[in-house]
Structure 1
Amino acid sequence: MCHLIYTEQTSLTKRKKSTSGRGKPYQHPVPKRAAILTCLTDAGRPLKPDAVMKAFDLKGQRTRTLLLDQLHKMVRAGQIIENRRGEFCLIAKLELIAGTVSGHADGFGFVARDDGADDVYLSAREMRAIFDGDRVAIRIIGEDRRGRTEGKLVEVLERGLSEIAGQFIRERGIGVVIPDNPKIAHRILIAKGEAGSAKHGQIVVAKILDFPTHVEQPTGKIVKVIGEPGKRGVATDIAIHSHGIPTDWPKAVRGQARQFGKEVPADAKKGRADLRDVNLLTIDGADARDFDDAVFCEPAGDGYRLLVAIADVSNYVEYGSPLDKQAIRRGTSVYFPDRVVPMLPETLSNGLCSLNPKVDRLCMVCEMHVSAEGKVTRAKFFEGVMRSAARLTYSQVSDFITGESNEQIPKAVQKDIQNLHAVYKLFAKNRSQRGAIELDIPQTRIEMDEHGAIARISAVPRNDAHRLIEECMIAANVQAAKFLRKNRISALYRVHAKPKPERFEELRLYLVSLGLKVPHPDHVQPKQFNKLLEQVKDRPDSAAISMAMLRSLSHAEYTPVNVGHFGLALDAYAHFTSPIRRYPDLLVHRAISHIVRGGKAGAYIYDKSEMEHLGNICSAHERRAEEATREVEAWLKCQYMEDKVGNEYEGVVTGVTNFGVFVQLPEFQIDGLVHVTSLQNDYYRFDVGSQSLIGDRSGTRYSLGDKLRIVVSRVDLDSKRIDFQLVDQGRATSPAKNNKKKHKSSRKKRKR
């Protein structure tokens, strides 16, 4: 085991200078990014690769290849740029800004800056040469007519997509693919002979042969026919390809995964704490297949000893290996209603890494001592080997906790669940005292039948079993963040900034219009959010108010700069508990493992600049997964409602805009739009402060939280949109059959 630990540790340690004879200046031939940036800064001018080689006294073709690979990684990260003479320049010296493109259906776009500053507007002309998701370097050229900071494209650093999914259209002998992703306004030209077996109207995947320029459209070749629009499963296939989510495992990855076998080798268990006699339990959803975490709790003094054991994925996925590179490309497992696209091959994610019951598994353990006040008074991390005592589901544990049934829980672990529930109550009390935001919004469950059709859509309420595991995981994540901070090692924190002032001001105006007291944006704290939620919990519009508050919050992200977590009211937070399905958690495990095995922060293989780049990648991949699953759910909900055109339902207003009101059907968690043009006999204006549509003549008001009876008037699968009309303004006249004709004509319009 000593040898194994030495090998693993040195793989995560910076290579040091040789101290004997005429050794090379680097045991590893390629200098770190920070050293290259310093070299370019000191040179004061752009440098060719050979000049960088000379500066570091590097020799050999293999070394040159590795250096070029490092330089191009830095280009993709937006740290340097390669000019047309093949020289590498500092972006900062050229007064350029690196970032990721976000397109808009109307042709213009924005660049989300790597430095976190406000997005930069790109005109439709600048967007001609780039796609949504591309990484670019731009130059600020001023402001547009609306006062937004405007940029000009200087260089494409990295293409976000190599394939695009969409509908194949052939008109007058010319083939075109219309991207399904509305953020891509381009049309992909398909040359004669490049359409393969694709037929007019089918959904296809086109490989980009020539990327767009300012004067030319992109060209492509059809490499896959997904099928006819409306075919079962087609929505997920489209989303996967539209968002560039990798699904195939390269040969090197498959080969590496096969080498591990199905059981943990005896040598790997040596030197680890033996927890196989401890009743560690996994508690997950009934359909879960990958088990990241297991928990155990027992009384200790006036509090409890809590163990959170997490699958030791870093033991198998080594830095720089084919598995590691593929995990970075994926960033996260993506959970669609009909399938999962895992971050790791199933031999690991569902097999050797998964904490399956009654088998030996390697784990990283966070041991915590919890006081009677629900505070962790001390904690430590160590490597262990465990054997899950039972695989339990949330519903089983919930039934046991509430006393509904204990038949499904083995007697040997019943006391352990009671201890876990007791420590959860302490954590919940502490959570309330520190002021973490409590937005208990139900999740949507879409259940598919054996034929791939939607069986039912329902809201899934959370119970104490969900909350129990959530609080245990939060506690371990907090201790992981504190461990990283204490040891000053480069890693990713999960940060959640305060709401942006302009967003919170909109919320404040709305809540003030309801007669609620709201703090100024500069002084808002999580506790005040909870006070507001407490004030409105018995109001009929409480759900709508909760949704409005949720929309005002910032999006959490991954970064090596810790700024705390606003929503959880914590000054340090990291993701440690799901390394099977999230790459940031794997990075946190590597950092903890490096320290646990005696390594020093200064000798860790990652530096801050590389960790910043990985944070940007992980945050982007998380958004990609969210957007893809949201699109699939929207499409499936439309498909589910297609045969319900003309049906009446009770709904609640969840959003108000100048073009209408969004109404949610609680029983399905499905939203539709009542367009302002369907509101008869008046002109309606949007009042931002009260978040209402108000009739000029009648004074009729439609506001957040209002209950309305609607009729489903139209379902459009193309735009993933459902239209409602108010029942008291006349029943929708379009039967389902006519609705399908409208659907086809809308696609025809898009073709032209």
Structure 2
Amino acid sequence: MIKIPKPPRSPTPPRSSAGLPDDDTLLEALSAAREVDVNDLARKFGLKGDDRRALRQRLKALSDAGKLDKRGRKTFGAQGVLPDTGAGTVVSQDVDGELWVKWGKDDNDKSPLARLAPLKKSAQQTPPGLGDRVYVRFEKAGDEWIAHLIKVLDQGAPKVIGVVRKTKKAKGQPEIRLESVNRKSKENYVLTGADLDKLKDGDVVMARPQGGLTRYGPQPATLIEVVGHETDPKVGSVMAVHAHGLPIGFKTSTEDEAKSATAPDLKGRTDLRDLPFVTIDPMDAKDHDDAVYAHPDDDEANPGGYVVWVAIADVAHYVKPGSSLDRDAREKGNSTYLPDRVEPMLPHVLSSGLCSLQENENRATLAVRMVFDASGTKIAHKFVRGLMRSAAKLSYEQAQSAIDGEPDDKTAPLLEGLLKPLWAAHACLTKGRNVRGPLHIHSPERKVHLDKEGNVIAIEPRVSLEAHGLIEEMMIQANVSAAETLEKHKSPLIYRVHEAPSLEKITNLADFLHTIGLPWNKGEAPNTQRFNKLLDSQREGPHSEIINEVVLRTQMQAHYSAENFGHFGLNLDRYAHFTSPIRRYADLIVHRALIRALKLGDDGLTDYEVKSLSDTADHITATERRSMAAEREAIERYIAAYLEEHVGANFAGRIVGVTRFGLFVRLLDTGADGIVPVSSLRDDYYIHDDKAHALVGERTHQRWRLGGSIVVKLKEAMPLTGGLVFEAISEPEPHDPNMPRPRLGARVRADSRNPSRRPTGGPPKGPSKGRVKGVTEKKAGRGGKGGKKRR
């Protein structure tokens, strides 16, 4: 059979297509696109089949030619336009300290740099540094790109502060160890790096742990710099500064801007030089943010009322948005006050010079005139940008002595016309304060006195004078006026907020009060009146100090926010920091907001600052807490150095904390805090009852209770860490039959089977009724697992 071949099949006709656009059309379509998928672009132009493949090849060619950015396997974006989010590298830091992020790999030279925005409070890591990989959200702000940190992908090891200890290995080889001065860490390191031969035993250095190189023993750490020596009296502050990464000094450009500043004139200002303002500050104050003046209101419609002026240094006149001064001030966030030094937010030429309201010198000011009625209620206020001249610079002690009938040569001429009207106005404002009812918490502070070499010569409590209350209340009213004015003008601002205590904190307070027989309804909403009733009722009682301490710990921590949550402690609906722009960046922002809202000049808050207020609030909250931690650590080290020569002496104290590993004790005379390790309580095995806030003996049921008085012996003082270790000298409180009995431990059950081993005077015989909720077993003594010391 002859096969007849079939005719060839006709090819399938191609599907219709609109045709591949040329390069110019593609580039125009992607001119402002942050990220476009190839498939979406193909649909836009109606491309199908081979044209889609040709489109991908064309886009890749444009990317290779540097006309497009390739974002992913199938995504492209316009040249010079960053994606919504992406991974990048911190590639540079400019002369002003700003960090810059490059999208993609750090060798990508096609994409623009983005300035890293201040970290948000929610970013739970240390700030990124050069070379770190970060995942960020990109945002266009004017002509520049901003990178908002989402996550640090790869970050170097943190820095550590420690003391050099030179040792010898088994074969006589030298080895340099580094002992960390962080009380929360017991890590030791072996130093590596250059210039190790120049180190001396006892040098305090900063190093970067390498981590993960050895499984056992000390880890290697690379030497970064020497910051002092352990014998230097001032090393406590030096370590605190370096440990918390406090920015030190100023950039050259910042110093140059400060030095070029000139004294203000009257142009565009209200002349306030005829008003006899006075500054009242601590005796050793170098900068003077605020001045006050008051007189009776001469308005017949306001009988018994007062006019109070508060004049604040016009820092915004000198520190312009975006300047080097501004960037340094923002980075620091605030001034830091250490026992032997101040790390100022602004250079001294401004903070102690042109910005400081010095006596008999013309100074630029942003002032508020407030009118109060006879009940102390503010009925009006007005802000002005002016020129003032302080009539006198007084200390709190000088002003108070004059009012108390002992004026000196300087205050005697000021008494009738200036000081007495101020005190009368304060009495008026106090009426309003009493009606408002802010918290009556007393927060005692200690002042460390140093000699010229930096050695501690005395530690004394700060005395609270009526003069302190006068300035405080007038500053509070000025801060309220600032917040009210900005809200009235619908201007964004940074608030100082303080939320009400959480339910958990209220529950803990109620549990503690129950242990001393005081009722507290957990279900009732917290308010300042309830707290004040409690505090005032116990003011003269034996538990006054500890109740004050526990109520203080019950409060939330104040912070800055672009949203208003009110100020619980001051019992105010709105509150902003306005009165200290020399030492707080928050106040400078509020000044700029007022200048913008009230049209008081062209140096007010910028659009970019308005857009980034939330970031700024989070940033300055973090810098404030950083400074507080450094200040606290420095004081603890100075106090430990002061008490080092008193090791072996006995001190009276009070138990301010109870944990499973020991008692935290505060000495009454110096305010120093230290620990009595549970391992040193050798008369019994102690367990932690967190409901009763006590360590309870398993056999005797005697207890060491929160708030109890105690006499301790100083066993160890460690200036390098600030740690103090005590030994209890006084006896624990006797067994309280009304308290629930904790569960008996294994040793106690053994003793119950051997009556001869049971201590006398204990609780009635019989088995325990079981574990009480909230009780954690903790053994003490030589054989107990709780015998390890925590320093």
Q: Normalization by structure 2: what TM-score?
A: 0.72
Counterpart of 2:273 (choices 247, 259, 276) is 276
Deviation at 1:53, TM superposition (A): 6.2
Give the letter for the 2:164 counterpart. Answer: F
Deviation at 1:612, TM superposition (A): 1.3
- The answer to whether the Cα contact below 8 Å between 1:137 and 1:157 also exists between their aligned partners in 2 is no
Is it true that 1:240 corresponds to 2:241 in the alignment? yes
Larger radius of gyration: 2
Deviation at 1:212, TM superposition (A): 6.5
Counterpart of 2:366 (choices 364, 367, 370) is 364
Q: For each residue in 1:457-479, what CA deviation from the matched residue of structure 2 results, as whole angstroms up to 9, or x when unmatched?
A: 01112111001000000000011
1:626 corresponds to which residue?
628
Instruction: State the alpha-carbon separation in 2 of the partners of residues 160 and 468 from structure 1.
Output: 48
Return closer, same or farther for 1:598/1:271 CA change in 2, 3 Å cut-off.
closer
Counterpart of 1:529 (choices 516, 528, 531) is 531
Return closer, same or farther for 1:218/1:391 CA change in 2, 3 Å cut-off.
farther
- The answer to whether the Cα contact below 8 Å between 2:203 and 2:226 also exists between their aligned partners in 1 is no
1:553 corresponds to which residue?
555
1:293 corresponds to which residue?
290
Deviation at 1:604, TM superposition (A): 3.8
Residues 262-411 of structure 1 aligned to structure 2 (within 5 Å): 264-265=263-264, 268-300=265-297, 301-302=302-303, 303-405=305-407, 408-411=410-413
2:445 corresponds to which residue?
443
- The answer to whether the Cα contact below 8 Å between 1:686 and 1:694 also exists between their aligned partners in 2 is yes
Q: For each residue in 1:484-517, what CA deviation from the matched residue of structure 2 results, as whole angstroms up to 9, or x when unmatched?
A: 2222223211111111221221112111332323
Deviation at 1:636, TM superposition (A): 0.8
Deviation at 1:321, TM superposition (A): 0.7
Give the letter for the 1:319 counterpart. Answer: P
1:587 corresponds to which residue?
589
User: Can you give the 5+ residue segments of structure 1 that lack an aligned partner in the other structure?
Assistant: 1-37, 57-64, 90-97, 101-111, 115-119, 139-152, 731-748
Instruction: State the alpha-carbon separation in 2 of the partners of residues 435 and 231 from structure 1.
Output: 47
**SS across alignment from 1:668:** coil
More helix per residue: 1 or 2? 1
Is it true that 1:674 corresponds to 2:670 in the alignment? no
Deviation at 1:74, TM superposition (A): 9.9
Q: For each residue in 1:205-249, what CA deviation from the matched residue of structure 2 results, as whole angstroms up to 9, or x when unmatched?
A: 34x5x976899988644333412x242101111111111112222
Q: Normalization by structure 1: what TM-score?
A: 0.75
**SS across alignment from 1:473:** helix
1:149 corresponds to which residue?
none
**SS across alignment from 2:607:** coil
Give the letter for the 2:162 counterpart. Answer: G
Return closer, same or farther for 1:349/1:506 CA change in 2, 3 Å cut-off.
same
Q: For each residue in 1:72-102, what CA deviation from the matched residue of structure 2 results, as whole angstroms up to 9, or x when unmatched?
A: 97988xxx9867896999xxxxxxxx977xx
- The answer to whether the Cα contact below 8 Å between 2:205 and 2:223 also exists between their aligned partners in 1 is no
2:194 corresponds to which residue?
193
Instruction: State the alpha-carbon separation in 2 of the partners of residues 135 and 513 from structure 1.
Output: 52
- The answer to whether the Cα contact below 8 Å between 2:119 and 2:618 also exists between their aligned partners in 1 is no
2:484 corresponds to which residue?
482
Instruction: State the alpha-carbon separation in 2 of the partners of residues 604 and 461 from structure 1.
Output: 42
- The answer to whether the Cα contact below 8 Å between 2:496 and 2:567 also exists between their aligned partners in 1 is yes
Deviation at 1:170, TM superposition (A): 5.0
- The number of equivalent residue pairs is 630
Deviation at 1:436, TM superposition (A): 0.9
Return closer, same or farther for 1:219/1:660 CA change in 2, 3 Å cut-off.
closer
Q: For each residue in 1:548-598, what CA deviation from the matched residue of structure 2 results, as whole angstroms up to 9, or x when unmatched?
A: 111111111111111111111111111100000111111111111112226
Give the letter for the 1:279 counterpart. Answer: P
1:202 corresponds to which residue?
203
Deviation at 1:166, TM superposition (A): 2.4
Counterpart of 1:693 (choices 669, 692, 695) is 695
- The answer to whether the Cα contact below 8 Å between 1:205 and 1:226 also exists between their aligned partners in 2 is no
1:707 corresponds to which residue?
709
2:164 corresponds to which residue?
168
- The answer to whether the Cα contact below 8 Å between 2:91 and 2:100 also exists between their aligned partners in 1 is no
Q: For each residue in 1:627-647, what CA deviation from the matched residue of structure 2 results, as whole angstroms up to 9, or x when unmatched?
A: 111111111111111111121
Residues 48-67 of structure 1 aligned to structure 2 (within 5 Å): 51=77
Q: For each residue in 1:687-712, what CA deviation from the matched residue of structure 2 results, as whole angstroms up to 9, or x when unmatched?
A: 22332222222232222332222222
Name which of structure 1's ranges 40-49 and 483-492 shifts more when overlaid on structure 2: 40-49
Instruction: State the alpha-carbon separation in 2 of the partners of residues 40 and 178 from structure 1.
Output: 51
**SS across alignment from 2:443:** coil
Return closer, same or farther for 1:404/1:185 CA change in 2, 3 Å cut-off.
same
Q: For each residue in 1:322-352, what CA deviation from the matched residue of structure 2 results, as whole angstroms up to 9, or x when unmatched?
A: 1111111211111111111111110000011
Return closer, same or farther for 1:639/1:460 CA change in 2, 3 Å cut-off.
same
Give the letter for the 1:532 counterpart. Answer: L
Q: For each residue in 1:403-422, what CA deviation from the matched residue of structure 2 results, as whole angstroms up to 9, or x when unmatched?
A: 34465514235432222222
Instruction: State the alpha-carbon separation in 1 of the partners of residues 556 and 205 from structure 2.
Output: 36
Return closer, same or farther for 1:346/1:130 CA change in 2, 3 Å cut-off.
closer
Instruction: State the alpha-carbon separation in 2 of the partners of residues 306 and 157 from structure 1.
Output: 55
Instruction: State the alpha-carbon separation in 2 of the partners of residues 67 and 625 from structure 1.
Output: 26
Give the letter for the 1:657 counterpart. Answer: T
Return closer, same or farther for 1:685/1:225 CA change in 2, 3 Å cut-off.
closer
Q: For each residue in 1:634-673, what CA deviation from the matched residue of structure 2 results, as whole angstroms up to 9, or x when unmatched?
A: 1111111111112122222222222222222222111222
Return closer, same or farther for 1:563/1:410 CA change in 2, 3 Å cut-off.
same
Counterpart of 1:472 (choices 448, 471, 474) is 474
Give the letter for the 1:454 counterpart. Answer: V
Deviation at 1:718, TM superposition (A): 4.0
- The answer to whether the Cα contact below 8 Å between 1:40 and 1:47 also exists between their aligned partners in 2 is no
Aligned Cα RMSD in Å?
A: 4.0
Instruction: State the alpha-carbon separation in 1 of the partners of residues 70 and 315 from structure 2.
Output: 39
Instruction: State the alpha-carbon separation in 2 of the partners of residues 218 and 386 from structure 1.
Output: 59
2:122 corresponds to which residue?
113
Name which of structure 1's ranges 591-600 and 483-492 shifts more when overlaid on structure 2: 591-600
Return closer, same or farther for 1:223/1:415 CA change in 2, 3 Å cut-off.
same
**SS across alignment from 1:590:** helix
2:6 corresponds to which residue?
none
Residues 643-658 of structure 1 aligned to structure 2 (within 5 Å): 643-658=645-660
Identity %: 33
- The answer to whether the Cα contact below 8 Å between 2:444 and 2:461 also exists between their aligned partners in 1 is yes
- The answer to whether the Cα contact below 8 Å between 2:592 and 2:604 also exists between their aligned partners in 1 is no
**SS across alignment from 1:523:** coil
Instruction: State the alpha-carbon separation in 2 of the partners of residues 211 and 156 from structure 1.
Output: 18
Residues 219-230 of structure 1 aligned to structure 2 (within 5 Å): 220-227=222-229, 229-230=230-231
Deviation at 1:167, TM superposition (A): 2.0
Counterpart of 2:420 (choices 418, 421, 436) is 418
Name which of structure 1's ranges 216-225 and 707-716 shifts more when overlaid on structure 2: 216-225
Instruction: State the alpha-carbon separation in 2 of the partners of residues 433 and 519 from structure 1.
Output: 24
Give the letter for the 1:705 counterpart. Answer: G
Return closer, same or farther for 1:602/1:154 CA change in 2, 3 Å cut-off.
closer
**SS across alignment from 2:198:** coil
Return closer, same or farther for 1:188/1:562 CA change in 2, 3 Å cut-off.
farther
Deviation at 1:545, TM superposition (A): 0.9
2:454 corresponds to which residue?
452
Instruction: State the alpha-carbon separation in 1 of the partners of residues 603 and 227 from structure 2.
Output: 50
- The answer to whether the Cα contact below 8 Å between 2:210 and 2:221 also exists between their aligned partners in 1 is yes
Runs (4 or more) in structure 1 with deviation over 4 Å come to 38-56, 65-69, 72-76, 80-89, 134-138, 156-161, 169-179, 181-190, 210-219, 404-408, 598-603
User: Can you give the 5+ residue segments of structure 2 that lack an aligned partner in the other structure?
Assistant: 1-31, 42-67, 83-89, 113-117, 137-149, 168-172, 733-788
Name which of structure 1's ranges 321-330 and 669-678 shifts more when overlaid on structure 2: 669-678
Return closer, same or farther for 1:169/1:697 CA change in 2, 3 Å cut-off.
same
Instruction: State the alpha-carbon separation in 2 of the partners of residues 603 and 615 from structure 1.
Output: 14
